[in-house]
Amino acid sequence: MITGAVGLVRMPDFYTRLHPAGMIDTFGAWLMLAGMCVQAGFTLVTVKLIIIGLFLFFTSPTASHIVANAALVSGMKPTGRRLDTPEPSSAGAHRETRP
């Protein structure tokens, strides 16, 4: 969960932040369902919780894909910037010109 939160802070744009957000969402749901399964013991409730977990396993990535597609259709462009390159700043920036 901590690594997903760090990923949300470090990623440069909306599209790359979707991946850690989706991972946190899915992993957190799995942890809660696993805790409820342990608490319930092996009963019909546990089987239902496992079915809910499988449902979340398939719907969470699909929801992330739909959000990314909606952002792209609405006109949000990916930055294309890598994590190891510095962010361009407008203050004090000058270009070296060649003759």
pTM of the predicted model as reported, rounded to 2 decimal places: 0.62
Per-residue confidence (pLDDT) for residue 86, from 0 to 100 = 61
pLDDT in tens, 4-54: 778 777 777 877 788 888 888 888 888 999 999 999 888 999 999 999 999
Closest by alpha carbon to 36, among 25, 23, 26, 50?
A: 50
Per-residue confidence (pLDDT) for residue 85, from 0 to 100 = 61
26 vs 20: CA distance, rounded Å:
10
Determine contact, residues 4/24, Cβ cutoff 8 Å. Answer: yes
Q: Kindly report the number of other CB atoms within 10 A of residue 60's CB atom.
A: 18
Determine contact, residues 56/30, Cβ cutoff 8 Å. Answer: yes
| R_g of the chain, CA atoms, integer Å | 20
Per-residue confidence (pLDDT) for residue 39, from 0 to 100 = 92
What 3-state DSSP class applies to 80?
A: coil
